[in-house]
Copies of this chain bind each other. A is one copy, B any other.
Amino acid sequence: MNARAEQGKRRTEGVRTRGRSARVVSEVLRTVLEELGRVGYAALRVEDVASRSGVNKTTIYRRWPTKAELVAAALRQWTEDPEVPDTGSLRSDLFLVAQHSVAMASSPLGQGLVQTIQAERTSPEVEALTRMLRSENRRRRVVMVERAIERGELPAGTDAMLVVEVIFATIYSRVFTHREPADDVFLQAVIDLVLEGARRGGALLQRDGGSGPTPPG
């Protein structure tokens, strides 16, 4: 396709990390995130990023050989804040994190990022990045549930990952797929439904048949 894209060539060596170069890097990546939130991935123009960040287009291409790599670099810079609440009640902890996630996901930037991830799913760079971000989020959320198991809020042997997956998949689906607001009432309803099921042993690990009916088909 393109010489640089094929060979991964960069003219810039990354030796100079202060002064003008530093300003260029941070300013460009900041602008990319801004543009992603504003117009999304497909409509993001490298020339626009250049002019908006007061830098020449050539300069951008010398540092990031393709639009995909440029966006990947911007994504790498973006990290969700890692606060994990510990209120003593799983319900409250989950609610706080859910609220925070919804706020992130509902913002223009959040919408732009998801669009980008879908559009660039062939890019191994973007793929690896999102996989990392997601696994980190999941890890932190699982911790909350495991603490609750230790406290006795949920039965021992509860599949913490499943609980987390069900709750947050539902919430993100509301915001991203359905593109409908996820208000506090909705968040509470989802959390309560799943926690009720888990409390009653509906999410126990290593379930070998016998108790319930076998899957049909």
- A interface vs B, CB < 8 Å? 40, 42, 87, 89, 91-92, 95-96, 99, 114-115, 118-119, 121-122, 134, 159, 162-163, 165-166, 169-170, 172-174, 177-179, 184, 187-190, 192-203, 207, 212-213, 215-217
CB-based contact A169/B162 at 8 Å: no
CB-nearest residue of chain B to A138? B178
Contact of A92 among B99, B187, B216 (CB under 8 A): B216
Distance, CA A91 to CA B159, complexed state (A): 20
CB-based contact A162/B193 at 8 Å: yes
CB-based contact B159/A189 at 8 Å: yes
CB-nearest residue of chain B to A89? B213
Q: Which of A95, A174, A193, A216 has the most CB of B within 10 A?
A: A193
CB-based contact B173/A42 at 8 Å: no
